[in-house]
Structure 1
Amino acid sequence: MISPKTSDANCETCNSSIKPHHRFCYNCGAYLGTYNAPVTIFNNRNLRSAFFFFIVYLFVCLLVQFTGWFNIYSRLFWVEIFLAGFTLFHVYKNYDAIKPLLRFNNFNIVRLAGCISFAAMASFVVNVIVTKMNYSFFRTDITYYHLYSAYSVPALIMAYSIALNPAIIEELAFRGVLYNYLNAFLNERLVIIVTGFAFGMMHLSFISLFWLVPFGILTGIMRRRFGTIWYGVVFHFVFNLIAVLFDLYRHGHL
C-alpha cells in the first residue's frame, strides 16, 4: 500500500504509477487500501479546474450553436479570440507542467509525413461519409462558406478559422490544459478517453461523434506517446484543412 501523504507512488504488485486516492491499481487490479478518500469536486482543486474549464468551453459552444447572434464571422471571430485567450491563460497558469509539451520531442520527417498522410485520408473519408449521411437522413447539404463569403479572401479566412485556429487552440485546451488537470488524479489511459469524449461533446454534433471521439482519443495517444502536442496540432490542422478544401470544391468555390 502507499502512504496517504505521497503525491505519487508505484503499485507494489506491478510497479505501475498510481495516485494517492486510488483504491485499486489500474494496471493489475491490486487492492491499495481503504484510507484513500474518493476524489470529488469539493476536495480536489484539479477536478474543480477541469470542470470549470470544460463548462466554460461548453457554454460558449452552446451560445454559438443555439443563438442567431454568431451567424456572421465578424461576431464569431470574437468568440475565437475569447476561447484562445481563456485557453492561453490556463496554459500560463500551468506552464511548468505544459512547457515540455511545447517542445518538438522525437520530431522526425518520416513520422510527420505519416501523420499528414493519415490525417488527409481520414478527413476525406469522414467528409464523404458525413455528406452522404446529412443528405440521406436530413436532406441537407451543409456548407460553412456563407459565413465567410462577404470577405475579400473567404477561402483563407475559412482556413484560419476552421483549420489553423482550432488546431492550435483546441489541442492546447484538450490535450494540454484539460489533460493536465485530469492527469493529476486519473490514470493516463483514462485521461485520454475522457478528454476524447469531452472534445467530441464540445462540438455539439451527435452525427459527428462517431469520428470526433476517435479523433480526440488519437491525438491524446499522440500526446502521451511522443510527449508533445505538435503531432496532434499537425494532424488536427491537416484534417480540418482537407474539410475546408472539400467544402470549397463541392460548392464550386475552388
Structure 2
Amino acid sequence: MSFSADRPWAAVALVTAAPFVLAIIEIFHPHPDDLFALDVDTWMFVHYAQIPLFPLSALSVAMLVRDRTDWAAWLCKAGMFVFAVAFTSFDTAAGLVIGLLVKGALASGQPEAWRDMIDALWFDPVLGGKGFTDAPLLGLIGRVALSFGAVAGAVSLKRAGHGWAPVLLLAAASFGLNVFKAHSWPGGPLTFGGMAVAAGWIRWEALRRKARAMAALEAGQVAAPRKARQQVDAS
C-alpha cells in the first residue's frame, strides 16, 4: 500500500507543515519602523527560521503538481524555484545581516556610528529590507514569482479535476505579499496560512479521489469472477 493511502494525514501534513509553520512564525515578525528599536532576539529567531521555511514552502506547492506534465505545472515549478532562491537571498541580507549589524551597533554603545553602514544595506535597491522605492528588487522578484507560480499551479490542478474552492484559495492567498508588500503581519501569515490550507485541501481531495478509484477497481475485480461463474452456471 502506498504512503498516501496508508497514512493520509501524513500525506496532507507533508504539503501543509512548512507553510503553516511559516505563517505562525511570521505573526511574530517585528515591524522595523526604527531598526535601533528592534527586538533583536525575536528578529534573529524569525529570520533564522525563515531561511529553510521559504524554500520548503515553495517545495510544498511544487509537490502538488509533481505528477503533472502540462505547461501550467512546469510554470508553477519554475515560479516556486525563483521564489525560493530570490526570497531566501533577500531575507538573508535584509534579515540576518541587518540583525547582526544592529546587534553589534547596540552592543558597541555607539549605535549612531553604525547607522550609515546599516542604512546602506537597508535602503539598497536590490538586497535591502526597504529599498529606495519600498520594493527591493530581490524581494519584488520573489513575491511576484510566488504569485505567478501559485496561479499556474492552480490552473494545472483545476485542469486535473480539482474543485474551484481550493485552487482559487491557493491562487488568491499567494497575492498577500504583493498586497501588503511585506512578509510580517498581516502579509506573510495570510499568504502562507492560506496556501497551507489550500495545499492540504488539494492533497486531501486527491487522496479521496484515489481511494474511490481503488474501491471501484476492487469492486470490479470482485464482480468479474462472480459474473463469470453465473455465466458458467447458466450454460
Q: Answer yes or no: same fold by TM over 0.5.
A: no
Higher relative contact order (CA 8 A, sep 6+): 2
Structure with the higher fraction of residues in helix conformation: 2
Give the TM interval when normalised to the shorter protein. 0.3 to 0.5
> Which structure has the bigger radius of gyration?
2
Under a length normalisation based on structure 1, what TM-score does the superposition of the two structures give?
A: 0.32
